[in-house]
Structure 1
Amino acid sequence: MPSTEATLIRLHADYAISAYQFAWSVTKDEPLAQDVVQGLFLKLARDADAITSAQSERAMIFTLVRNLALDALRRRSTREKALDRWAEELPEWFEPHADAPTEDQRLLLTAALAALPEDQRSVIHLHLWEELSFREIGELLDLRTQTIASRYRYGLEKLRTQKHILA
């Protein structure tokens, strides 16, 4: 068994339950706490050796859990605020709009997005539809924030060049 895999197994055995309990104490939400612990072990899987070089393995685990839990709470708060805004606007969504995209335009937009390179398409999706910041996307994809911003900009530029198709 590779050392990284052995380290992850040991960390999971040693900390999974207490990490969950701590995540729950921060979030007061069982599914969210479970997501936090899953995020913790995904983060550790990307860099399991970093924890072995930490002064205190336990302190690093709980710092990561706390940070992940607070990030999850912030994202949930942002989603809830957006949902509240959308709930106020919801009746308007069902009114016919003169500029509403037709089914053909939706299909063209889907095709235009599909034509983008996967790295640009992913960044555009995560930023526009999942409302993640460039920093959060960078952490998720393990890339620099500047790289994420560039991929987003290049993707939008490619979509703009197809604007005549979407019009």
Structure 2
Amino acid sequence: MPPSEATLIRLHAEHATSVYRFAWSVTKDESLAQEVVQELFLKLARDGGLIASAASERAIIFTLTRNLALDALRRHARQAKAMERLSHELPEWFLPAHDGNAEETRLLLTTTLAELPEDQRSVIHLHMWEELSFREIGELLGAPTQTIASRYRYGLEKLRAALLKLEPSLA
């Protein structure tokens, strides 16, 4: 059962600042620390039993904060590693056939890929790098195969448009 609104307000008033400082000391990143604080209070709002069953309210709050901060660090590291890998593993057919600046092209495509909507980016990643079929991706994401194919096509069109800005002769 979720805690009352008054309990959440009290918990936030009493602990938000110190939780933020602690999250920042773990993550050394302002935005990750803010994310951790938000996740903590969402978790507390969803599950009132966390606080009700704890011997020490403060201890459970800081334990949860530490765990969420470590999760955020791991998630951030995975995302950074994936983006780094993407920047060096773009399929060769993405790169222009001319003698242009391949690194500039890689950077443009990596940036454009990162800016795609998450559903298109996921489908492109799963199809190109994980070599899953559209049917397999559909099962994984809970979407029809045609929807997956459309997301892939729309994502590729956006990547192609970015390439054409760099090298109009590829049209």
Q: TM-score, normalised by structure 1?
A: 0.57
Q: Which residue of 2 aligns with 1:24?
A: 24
Identity of paired residues, percent?
61
Within 1, Cα distance between the matches of 2:59 and 2:140?
39
Q: Which residue of 2 aligns with 1:159?
A: 145
Read off the aligned partner of 1:84 and give its amino acid letter: E
Q: Which residue of 1 aligns with 2:131?
A: none
* The 10-residue stretch of structure 1 (22-31 or 41-50) with the greater mean CA deviation from structure 2: 41-50
Q: Which residue of 2 aligns with 1:4?
A: 4
Q: Which residue of 1 aligns with 2:69?
A: 69
Q: Which residue of 2 aligns with 1:141?
A: none
CA contact under 8 A between 2:24 and 2:30: conserved in structure 1? yes
Within 2, Cα distance between the matches of 1:15 and 1:162?
44
Residue 14 of structure 2 corresponds to residue 14 of structure 1: yes
Structure 1 stretches of 5 or more lacking a match?
97-123, 132-150
Secondary structure, aligned partner of 1:41: helix
Secondary structure, aligned partner of 2:145: helix
CA contact under 8 A between 1:39 and 1:68: conserved in structure 2? yes
Distance verdict in 2 for CA 1:3–1:41, change over 3 Å: closer
- Equivalent pairs, count: 115
Distance verdict in 2 for CA 1:70–1:154, change over 3 Å: closer
Distance verdict in 2 for CA 1:4–1:152, change over 3 Å: farther
Within 2, Cα distance between the matches of 1:76 and 1:84?
12
CA contact under 8 A between 2:40 and 2:64: conserved in structure 1? yes
Secondary structure, aligned partner of 1:55: coil
Structure 2 stretches of 5 or more lacking a match?
97-117, 126-137, 154-171
| 1:25-64 alignment runs, 5 A limit | 25-64=25-64
Distance verdict in 2 for CA 1:87–1:69, change over 3 Å: same
Offset of residue 83 of structure 1: 1.0
Q: TM-score, normalised by structure 2?
A: 0.56
1:117-151 Cα offsets, whole Å, 9 max, x none, are xxxxxxx95xx47x9xxxxxxxxxxxxxxxxxxx9
Distance verdict in 2 for CA 1:153–1:40, change over 3 Å: same
Offset of residue 31 of structure 1: 1.1
Offset of residue 91 of structure 1: 7.9
Q: Which residue of 1 aligns with 2:84?
A: 84
Give the alignment's Cα RMSD to 1 decimal: 3.5
CA contact under 8 A between 2:3 and 2:47: conserved in structure 1? no
Q: Which residue of 2 aligns with 1:110?
A: none
1:33-59 Cα offsets, whole Å, 9 max, x none, are 011001111111111343122111111
Within 2, Cα distance between the matches of 1:161 and 1:8?
41
CA contact under 8 A between 1:20 and 1:37: conserved in structure 2? yes
Offset of residue 93 of structure 1: 6.5
